[in-house]
Structure 1
Amino acid sequence: MALTYAPGALHAQDANQTTTAPAPQTNATGQAANNSKPADKTKAKTKDQKDVQDLDGVTVTGIRASLQTSQSLKQNASQIVDSVTATDINALPDRSVTETLQRISGVTVDHYLADDDPDHPSAEGSAVLIRGLPYVASLLNGGESFSANNGRALSFEDVPAELMEGVDVYKNPSAEMIEGGIGGTVDLRTRQPFDSPGQVIGFSTGVNEGDMEKKSKPSSSFLYSNRWKTENLGEFGALLDVSYSELASRSDGVQVNPYVLEPADNLGNCGNVPCEPTSANGNVAIPGDINYYQMDMQRRRTGLYGALQWRPTNDLEISTRLFRSIYNLQWVEHEVQANEGNYFNMVPVPGTTFDYNGNGVFQDGDMVANSWQGYDPTAKATLNTGYPPIGGPNYYALTREQTQFTRTTDWSTDFKYNLNDHMIWSGAVQFVKSTSNEVDFTVYNQFFMPPANVNVSGTPGMTLLPNPTYATIPSNTTNPNSLTNYSNYYLGAALDHLEYDYAMERAFRTDLEYDFVDNNWLQYVKVGVRATTHDTYSNNNSSSYNWGPISQVWQGSSIYNGGTQPLDWANNVPAWMEQQFTMSDFFRGQAKVPTTLIFPSTALVGNYYGAISSLRALELDGGAGGWCPQFFTSADGCTPASGMSADYMHESTQAGYAMLYFGNDNALGIPFDGNIGVRFVRTSLNANGSVTYPSSDAIQNPTGITPAQMALFNGMTTPINGAYDYHNVLPSLNLRFKLTDDLQLRLAASKGITRPDISELNSYMVIGSSWTSAGTSSTSQSAKLAGFTATSGGNPDLKPLEANQFDAALEWYFAPTSELYVTLFKKDLSNYTTTEVHQQIIDGVPVAVSGPTNAGKGTIKGAEFGYSQFFDFLPGAFKGLGVQANYTFLQSSKVYNTTSCDPNHGNGSCSANDVVTNPGLPMQGLSPHNYNITGMYESGDWSARLAWSWRSRYLITPVDSGDTYLPMWNASSGQLDGSVFYHLNKNMQVGLQVNNITNTVQRVLMGPTSYVNGYVDWNLYTRALFMTDRRYELVFRASF
């Protein structure tokens, strides 16, 4: 998505055009910052600040207009800021504000659907980090805004870029700015009617398509703005801006399950007790087979923005704005996933051996599972494409659909009133409301994968082995197409997750500014107050997923009673619930895997509420013994394994600040200016939630369960409450020294806070049970209680993250569109929050609890370098060439020992006894090296950009919430995007934008693993490879 219009001067290629840059938004105390003050009363803070608003007469066009505007904002601002204007976003090949932000030095973007989910990549950028920190405050026209997704910031990918005039990134806040952005503050600026001298009409239309998904999707936008003068009522302005866009994308992924260390001469013989290595000598690392999936995603984004302005007199201006963003996301996933309880069950086919690299890590081999696979041999044979002890592992062929809907409405009204020649009074009220709904539903087919050759030396893959000696059912295994035989599958389980979030904030602020006229030192002083109330409600937590069996091999007495096999897809399941699906051109043909299998149908999975009765009617244990939908209660005849929980939070804040702006041209021998201030803020929090215990329905086998453990299976939900109150004093100082007319030095220091995310403060805990295999016996019940796990969704006692921040910047502006700068920075952090697994005793039973905690102190330091220039000294058309480049170096001294679960000791599950420590992990999301290089060309009617963004390896999450329980890393990667536009005339242009030109493969790594007996495996193993579309968009734009 790209911004699709601007006032005509920014688009047309007329040599007589001019553009006026907006004033820097230094007054971001919660007001909707306005780019113009009441006429004739604008105060001259400094000559440079005034010059930002008076660029008339400078001839600029297209990309040059963007660079000059952004450069002027950066050069003349009263603090350290980077800006992107509407023309920048128009010219970049970016579909959203998020992807545009990554071009700014110090800003990085994640490409995952959720910031702690390493299993689902996103075609568009998602989470924004500034200087390696995700603690980013989001403002809309200077006022705080957010999305109801359990966080405190806007989901920038939800925001239509078409509605934005510009984006400002503040990296060291002053006292007048709203607190909350330790990483930085992103202020989204929309257009105002008074920004343009008269009528402006702009519209665009486009169509985009991904080369893997092969579905064309539209985009369009329209803007109208005008202003009118009246004889008695002053001047009025009105603006309407609407946008609509769709995107269809496909992602293919292949995963390697966690490696376990085993003695090389004793593979698969550990039984129920893992072979615990004491050193690397004599051990080999074996993966728990591989998974692969194909995900089809569709996104729809709608934006509406309206603004009214009224200037009744030269001393008073009133503005009101309404902003609405609607975001719909739907994705359907077909995944083939290993379902082995013990990762060390994977062994070579008899008579073969595995191949290893020089470090003893598995590379290639014919692999089967040495595990228990069911009860009665006769009935089991109808489910098995391979028969124990030479059978393949149990696998899921699952279909999953997730739908998300988010709507955010932001209304604000502000005023500015010149009380006299020295004093300005301003104020604003703001109302923000956001709702978010999510339905996530998965249905699992299960089958036994035939023996296969597994290769992980390059792109992981598996090739089925057709040798009939590997099984007792040759008709099912002599042909790799046996995976299309419906008789080989049974309907295994279902998993659902429902979430509804609601958030509302009311904010009020008022400010008073006094200007010192003809004072050699003092320029002006500002004071202000701000108060907010923030209410949130969530009927479920983001990590509560509700799994339940439909038919499982360990439900032996139910499945094999009378020798029948009720859930054989060929005989006992309605035809509409099944579907043969082919992953076409999987991974562009680079991964060899079986691509045609039998999955639950999209008609079933895509109709969650309609599927409930159909699935429950097929449950082998029926009623309370099978899958129970998450929103059910005991009144519905069953209790879900992980039910719903209602959580409420009320937060109120009161803040006040005072700032003094000063400067002198002669006292130090060079001109300098700056500001000093302090902000005081008080926060009060009250959170209501609950503890949910597992129900007795979750008991798969009562054998060996102690009375204390059995007491936890009570299905009760107990309410809990938490309250907290704290205050913070936040000083700030900004200095600027003008070494020459073009060279300046900036120094900045401040203290900031970031409050914990809403999801981290909600008071709730969901306790679940973990089950694992007891051995390889074909006659014993396989399900055994391994222990209890709990997701602690919140902690109302969490303290806000605090930072003492220091910046020093040297900036050289050697031409109107050319700059060179270097910035050194340091952040001393305390109360860092992370998610850890720890053992907690609940009702006398040890539980492995995963939840947020304050992890201590740390430091981030680094440097930013930037360069931008058009090569005007080149001859002829070559003078249209230019380059923008920036590099950011980040270093974290934060080293903390997070806890997780060891797959080698945990038998593929996580219980209290499996908790181990991962020493020496860095901060999440922090890439030590990041750079962007953009080649630009603008000459005559042509303009083009080619943009490369790259970042080095970073930690995604210290504890994966999936089936690995390990730290997850994103390997170093980059992406190339491009665009070219041709101006048909001064009002119209056509263009082509391309994303992911080089077909970037996203690589996820896992480790290190702290094995038992003190051995630490420091290797990082490949966990996953992801591939997404190349995306093309043809665009037409016009403005008048």
Structure 2
Amino acid sequence: MTGNGFIARRARARLALTVSAAALLLAGATAHAQTREGSPPTAQQPGTGSGVTAPSGDQGIADPGSGNSDASGGDVVVTGVRASLSSAQGIKRYADQIVDSIVAEDIGKLPDRNVAEALQRITGIQIQRSYGEGSSIAIRGLSQVRTEINGRDVFTANNGRTLSLEDVPSELLAGVDVYKNPSANLIEGGIGGLVNLRTRKPFDFDGFKLSASATANYYDLYDGTKPQANLLVSDRWQTGVGEIGVLLDVAYQETAFRQDQISSQPFYLLNDQLNASGQPVNATDYATAQGLGRLGQPTYLSHGVGIGQYLGDRRRLGIDAAVQWRPTDTIDVTAEYVRSDYKFRYGDYSFFAYTGDNPITPDFTQPFTYDSEGNFRSGTFVNVPINANTSLEQRHSVTNDYSLNAKWRPSDRLTINGDFQYIRGVTDGQRSIVILASTAERLTTSVGSGVPSMIISPDSDPGNGNGLVSDPANYASGAGYLDHIEHSVGTEYAGRLDAEYKIDGGFLKSLAGGLRYTDRSAVTDSSTYQYYGLTRALSPDLYEQRLFRGDLYRGFQDVPTSAVFFNRDTVLDYGATRQALAPFVDPSQQAALLAGVGYAPSDRNTQGEKTYTAYGVARFGSGGAVPIDGNIGVRLIKTKVSTAGFVGSSPRVQTGTDAITGAPIYGNGPITFNPVNVDSDYTKALPSLNLAFHFTDKLQLRLAASKALTRPGFDQLNPNITIFENNPTNGQRTATSGNADLRPLTADQLDASLEYYFSRTGSIYAAGFYKKVDGFIATITAPETYSFNGVDYVYQVTRPVNGDDGKIKGFEVGGNTFLDFLPGWLSGFGAQANFTYVDSKAPSPDAQDTSGAQLTVPLEQLSKYSYNLIGFYDRGPLSARVAYNWRSKYVVTTRGNGSGNLPIFNDARGQLDASVTLTVTPNFGLTVDGTNLTNTENRTYYGVASRPQSSVLNDRRVSITARLTY
């Protein structure tokens, strides 16, 4: 038995003993429970609540606070921020697990307009942004988060397992629940946690309901306005076959963005060492250090600088259609269709003066400055290559989700739930880049602690036509076109059957169990990048001059006046780009360019996965001096995985003869594709224990122990690999592949949460957590042997592998309240604040220090510290909120290009958002909201803060919304 294996088994044994010991302890407790003061209200009958419903696919949580008085006998809460905060607090207070929630303040009105950005207000959650919008989240340091809609699977077809949160219009949602620890009845799949998006149903309302909203969104950097609208119609009727309800909710959004970026290229250490004979090890680096007067001193030179301007748009269409039927008081049937239709597109201008891995040549006649560690600060370089790129990236993702659910209550004690789902997702994407090339005679740049500068000489004003970067004649050669396409299809059939039996009068409160089956497939076609060289200068009408100085980065001056690019309007039309470039490529490539990129056999990655699940949960409770309740259970899952792909082999062939030596010249021969199929299966047991100690009717302590699981992404399981026999010029054969033998990640988890609820909208809490993750997936490069004609060759193959264990620990503190004790209008003020500390350690085989030793680094995308400060006002017709979110620095990647094998960090970042709502009449309201009001700058750096990588600015958005409700 290996050391790691022994440790893992010992950890599993400890978890099992903990669960067993707790169960034995509780079994000896008082046999008859007492009803405690402040216990959850009786479950609502449909139609009497606020429209917040439990997931229909899984055992879920309802909103126990809607329409009820607070624990201290306060008034009924019915509208606005107070109702939202009260509902979210009620869900947290009475849930079986540690749960945090966000509840819509009104139909179509989450506190934030983006789902991910709304989730960042919850303790323990940090988000990643894509072009100014929240796109993905991590919970308590782990990005392996499961997403659901109404307790069922949901995913975007993009080689992954989860839904891209940016795909979903927030107006469709009644609320979002975040489960931070599992119980056995929850579907497995997220060691970080589970995010359940809840939609509305027709039986949530008493009768007819109509809600409509229209929004105008203005983006200041983009300098444009985009529309947004939402319509919900719902009604219910008594018929001869029972009660029937129908709901239709449609949300449409158009958004825009502009992102300005100025970047330093990677820093490289000059090698000025001498060999044993006294000669320079690297003659070029030695001469550079000598010319700079830096011999014998560490010198890190940035190999250039670049600017980028990304202009794009997003379009979201969401549809939720639901029909409910109640033929008797004991049967409820729900059929639902949810559609997410998302389009994303941008076209950018990227202008770089850089040498890549090649040396950069200083102008030794000009001054250079460095910091105390030898990092370049400022200087001038000569004959630096230029690239002026115009590119297109677009994605269109459609997910269709069909579900049918039936609940039967044959007695007051027994509930049986059956659920079926079919989901199909399709994603298409393109990436194309038109490259223009030239050379900068002189590049003067400084990196300092601010935004990097980029001065190229000679320069010119727009329209002069005699400057280096603004004259199309300077881009007559060295141009090209890169083209890439993707197509993904994912489907799943899922069925489950659950039953719960309630037991009165004793320690044991209920027994629940269920079975679940899924059949998932994922087929992804992803082409290699096809390159077409442009053989001559383009037609004048295909060039575009883009102004930078005075416009880029909100008026930043230390950039070129302008530059010449391939026309962006043409780039935004994928087919028109190929048509426009065809006359300028080699005639042998014209037909291929016009036909577009195709797929080779090895471009397809096919996965199939079936799961068989059974679970059992016992809920219990006892009275006494300190009432206790909770649940204990286990979830058993068998997973069968089938993976199909190809191994491509290209033999070496002679392509010519050296004219001088007569030696043969070799190249790559035709690729032969051989299919490869890998089948695997595994069975996992996931025990869980959740306890709640009720010291008073307001103070409770939760303790939880559990085991969670996350399966590898389908892209990580991709077995495709292509091997070339021909020896490359650097003498090293390389290849890249996935790993069909990856095993799932598992995590042993311990959680504790102390919670004090002093009013319906007032609470404080502190929580601690510890996760030990087994099998972290890391990408490494290792030698592998492949054969051609009986000859073995060693290749350095890069692929993902299961690594060692990682540990995540931390704590959360927070609270919220309204200042009801203040007189009059002052009682409308309220506040919410929380703070999260997360410490993680995970070995990264691909991260090394300067001596080559492996580094143990924090998890990628994880800040150690984060907090939220939110101020409310809610009284009468006025409702307002100001929210500030901050997170400390974090690792973007554990080993960045040109960083000396050091991680690349994102600097600390904070953002201010705000909204104001005026309820003009009971049926009509106006909302003004804004995001990124502080014009937050995002900065990254290579390993150490004195080696800046990029500085980025995004739009500030201001929106006006009119909302009508009947």
Q: What's the TM-score, normalizing by structure 2?
A: 0.87
Matched, 1:429 2:420: yes
Q: How big is each residue's C-alpha offset from its partner over 1:660-718, in whole Å with a ceiling of 9 and x where there is no partner?
A: 0010112xx21111100000000000111123467999999999999999575544433
Matched, 1:857 2:805: yes
Q: CA deviation at 1:762?
A: 2.1
Q: CA deviation at 1:643?
A: 8.5
SS at match of 2:441: coil
Output aligned runs, 1:498-577, within 5 Å: 498-517=485-504, 519-540=505-526, 544-551=528-535, 567=536, 569=537, 573-577=538-542
Gaps of 5+ in 1: 1-17, 37-46, 113-121, 369-391, 468-473, 552-566, 634-641, 773-783, 903-914, 1008-1017
Matched, 1:172 2:154: no
Matched, 1:413 2:404: yes
Match of 2:742 among 782, 794, 798: 798
Distance 2:777 2:69 in 1: 40
Output aligned runs, 1:196-235, within 5 Å: 196-230=205-239, 232-235=240-243
Q: How big is each residue's C-alpha offset from its partner over 1:482-539, in whole Å with a ceiling of 9 and x where there is no partner?
A: 322111003512111110000000000001111112x221111001000000011111
Gaps of 5+ in 2: 1-46
2:947 maps to what in 1? 1021
Give the partner amino acid of 2:691: L
Q: CA deviation at 1:617?
A: 4.2
Distance 1:600 1:806, change over 3 A: same
Deviates more, 1:149-158 or 1:964-973: 964-973
Matched, 1:875 2:823: yes
Give the partner amino acid of 1:729: A
Give the partner amino acid of 1:648: T
Distance 2:693 2:170 in 1: 35
CA contact (8 A) 1:66 1:86 kept: yes
Distance 1:769 1:487 in 2: 41
CA contact (8 A) 1:895 1:920 kept: yes
1:886 maps to what in 2? 834
CA contact (8 A) 1:581 1:599 kept: yes
Q: How big is each residue's C-alpha offset from its partner over 1:418-469, in whole Å with a ceiling of 9 and x where there is no partner?
A: 12232111110001110000011001000101302111112101123449xx
Distance 1:963 1:808, change over 3 A: closer
Distance 1:931 1:963, change over 3 A: closer
Q: How big is each residue's C-alpha offset from its partner over 1:847-900, in whole Å with a ceiling of 9 and x where there is no partner?
A: 443332111101101001111011112233222111111111001132333258
1:781 maps to what in 2? none
The total of aligned residue pairs comes to 903
2:256 maps to what in 1? 248
SS at match of 1:761: coil
CA contact (8 A) 1:630 1:644 kept: no
2:12 maps to what in 1? none
Distance 1:769 1:106 in 2: 50
Matched, 1:746 2:702: yes
Match of 1:137 among 136, 146, 152: 146
1:471 maps to what in 2? none
Distance 1:824 1:929 in 2: 14
Distance 1:933 1:185, change over 3 A: same
Give the partner amino acid of 1:362: F
1:61 maps to what in 2? 79
1:649 maps to what in 2? 607
Distance 1:970 1:475 in 2: 35
Q: CA deviation at 1:352?
A: 2.2
Q: How big is each residue's C-alpha offset from its partner over 1:43-90, in whole Å with a ceiling of 9 and x where there is no partner?
A: xxxx99998999997233210001111111111111110111111896
2:711 maps to what in 1? 755
2:451 maps to what in 1? 459
Q: What's the TM-score, normalizing by structure 1?
A: 0.81
Match of 2:347 among 332, 338, 352: 332
2:157 maps to what in 1? 148
Question: Equivalent pairs: percent with the same residue?
Answer: 33
SS at match of 2:132: coil
Matched, 1:352 2:366: yes
Distance 1:893 1:900, change over 3 A: closer
Q: CA deviation at 1:970?
A: 1.6
Could you say which structure has the higher strand fraction? 2
Distance 1:846 1:709 in 2: 22
Structure 1 vs Structure 2 CA RMSD:
3.8
Distance 1:466 1:275, change over 3 A: closer
Give the partner amino acid of 2:434: V
Match of 2:473 among 487, 491, 502: 487
Distance 1:770 1:877, change over 3 A: farther
Distance 1:407 1:826 in 2: 37
SS at match of 1:419: coil
Distance 1:97 1:1019, change over 3 A: closer
Give the partner amino acid of 2:201: Q
Q: CA deviation at 1:965?
A: 7.9
Q: CA deviation at 1:788?
A: 4.6
Distance 1:715 1:750, change over 3 A: same
Q: CA deviation at 1:399?
A: 0.5
CA contact (8 A) 1:674 1:733 kept: yes
Q: CA deviation at 1:574?
A: 2.2
Deviates more, 1:889-898 or 1:501-510: 889-898
Q: CA deviation at 1:789?
A: 4.2
Distance 1:281 1:687 in 2: 54
Deviates more, 1:84-93 or 1:723-732: 84-93
Distance 1:846 1:588, change over 3 A: farther
Q: How big is each residue's C-alpha offset from its partner over 1:356-406, in whole Å with a ceiling of 9 and x where there is no partner?
A: 1122111111112xxxxxxxxxxxxxxxxxxxxxxx211110110011100
Q: CA deviation at 1:34?
A: 8.9
Match of 1:587 among 553, 559, 565: 553
Distance 1:288 1:698 in 2: 37
Q: How big is each residue's C-alpha offset from its partner over 1:91-115, in whole Å with a ceiling of 9 and x where there is no partner?
A: 6662221111111111111013xxx
Give the partner amino acid of 2:763: E
Q: CA deviation at 1:253?
A: 0.5
Matched, 1:1035 2:961: yes
Distance 1:65 1:702, change over 3 A: farther
Matched, 1:20 2:11: no
Matched, 1:660 2:618: yes
SS at match of 1:74: helix
Match of 2:169 among 160, 164, 177: 160
CA contact (8 A) 2:607 2:643 kept: yes
Matched, 1:974 2:922: no
Distance 1:547 1:741 in 2: 69
Distance 1:679 1:950 in 2: 37
Q: How big is each residue's C-alpha offset from its partner over 1:989-1035, in whole Å with a ceiling of 9 and x where there is no partner?
A: 1121111001111112223xxxxxxxxxx676211111111111111
Q: CA deviation at 1:602?
A: 2.4
Distance 1:961 1:340, change over 3 A: closer
Q: CA deviation at 1:21?
A: 5.6
Distance 1:153 1:788 in 2: 35
Distance 1:704 1:512 in 2: 83
Distance 1:918 1:700 in 2: 44
Q: CA deviation at 1:632?
A: 4.2
Distance 2:213 2:65 in 1: 36
CA contact (8 A) 1:299 1:328 kept: yes
CA contact (8 A) 1:19 1:58 kept: no
Distance 1:221 1:769, change over 3 A: farther
Distance 1:980 1:19, change over 3 A: farther
1:322 maps to what in 2? 337
